[in-house]
Structure 1
Amino acid sequence: MKITDLSQLIYASQPFGYDATLLSGILTDARRCNLRDDITGALVCRQDIYLQLLEGPSEQITAAYTRICRDDRHVGINRLVSRQVTDRMFGSWAMLHDPAKSLIWTMKQIEEGILDRISPVEIIDMFESVSRNAGPEHAT
């Protein structure tokens, strides 16, 4: 794979309903498709937000994001970062699940639109923290 073919996309959405069964279905679907498509990443979530990083070949990232945009389990999808990268941040994870332990913004801040005001660098920094703190026991 050429270096220029490695893309990273980060988006936020709100869950349409939120419970353990729904989340399990999203993670199962993501891991199955990501393994097939050479995509890795992480999903930080709680009842008010999904914040997901996807990384892999550009064409597959575009296709995955298109599927997510059509998925009725998400509402208010907002692309936050889209960039070319040389290395994967979550190379060991088809989809790391972080149940918002790393999320630095409160529910009130999310509701008030903080994701519209912070820089892409701050969002990337949050995912870099997730990557550094994820142990091998979370690899999936």
Structure 2
Amino acid sequence: MLVRMLYVSRATGPISRASVDSILAQSRAHNPDLGVTGILCWGGDIFMQVLEGGRGPVNQLYNQIVRDERHKDVVMLHYEEITERRFAGWTMGQVHLEKLNPSILLKYSEKPVLDPYAVSGKVSVALLEELIQTAAIIGRAESTRVALASNQ
């Protein structure tokens, strides 16, 4: 059974490009073996991530994230059983939200900043779907696997 899960968290320390690259590398290396796809959005001290795949692997990854000391204020925003993936093209795509046109963020929230804690999970999923349509997500899965470290 396939599920889609969306969570948000705050970083416990400063988010550097290197730390995000490390998280993405870990995800891209191990998610294919788990059958997990998704995207990671980040901006300021916020991480927002969608994970899609089998219920067991998605739940296991989420539990690892909750225990990861790099995260705090971890909140599951959306969880649903699905018949097909929306983020199947990404072993772990990425969006740096501070580089987006603020009008896209403003379309889905009161202010042109990312604050998934202030909107519903469905609104956050709608934002991510728009990011796919506008090609704002980078890091599509390639036919060859990148051999790096594990997710979280």
Q: Same fold (TM over 0.5)?
A: yes
Amino acid of the residue matched to residue 128 of structure 1?
A: E
Show the 5 A alignment for 1:1-16.
Answer: 5-16=1-12
Q: Structure 1, residues 51-89: CA drift from partner, whole Å, max 9, x if none? A: 100000111100110111111111111100011111111
Q: Against the structure 1 CA distance between its residues 37 and 86, is the aligned structure 2 distance closer, same or farther, given a 3 Å change threshold?
A: same
Query: Which stretch of structure 1 is more off in the superposition, 130-139 or 118-127?
Result: 130-139
Q: Against the structure 1 CA distance between its residues 107 and 126, is the aligned structure 2 distance closer, same or farther, given a 3 Å change threshold?
A: closer
Which residue, 77, 81, 90 being the options, matches 1:80? Answer: 77
Which residue, 40, 43, 49 being the options, matches 2:40? Answer: 43
Give the 3-state SS of the residue equivalent to 2:94 in structure 1.
strand
Q: Against the structure 1 CA distance between its residues 25 and 107, is the aligned structure 2 distance closer, same or farther, given a 3 Å change threshold?
A: farther
Show the 5 A alignment for 1:8-27.
Answer: 8-16=4-12, 17-27=14-24
Query: Whole-Å Cα distance in 2 between the matches of residues 65 and 137 of structure 1?
Result: 22
Query: Whole-Å Cα distance in 2 between the matches of residues 13 and 51 of structure 1?
Result: 7
Q: Structure 1, residues 102-121: CA drift from partner, whole Å, max 9, x if none? A: 771558773xxx624x2232
Q: Against the structure 1 CA distance between its residues 134 and 9, is the aligned structure 2 distance closer, same or farther, given a 3 Å change threshold?
A: same
Give the 3-state SS of the residue equivalent to 2:83 in structure 1.
coil
- Under a length normalisation based on structure 1, what TM-score does the superposition of the two structures give? 0.83
| Larger proportion of helix | 1
Amino acid of the residue matched to residue 128 of structure 2?
A: F
Q: Against the structure 1 CA distance between its residues 108 and 99, is the aligned structure 2 distance closer, same or farther, given a 3 Å change threshold?
A: closer
- Under a length normalisation based on structure 2, what TM-score does the superposition of the two structures give? 0.77
RMSD (Å), alpha carbons: 2.3
Amino acid of the residue matched to residue 8 of structure 1?
A: R
Amino acid of the residue matched to residue 139 of structure 1?
A: R
Aligned length: 132
Percentage of matched positions with identical amino acids: 23
Give unmatched runs, 5+ long, in structure 2. Answer: 142-152
Amino acid of the residue matched to residue 14 of structure 1?
A: R
Show the 5 A alignment for 1:103-118.
Answer: 104=105, 110=115, 115-116=117-118, 118=119
Give unmatched runs, 5+ long, in structure 1. Answer: none
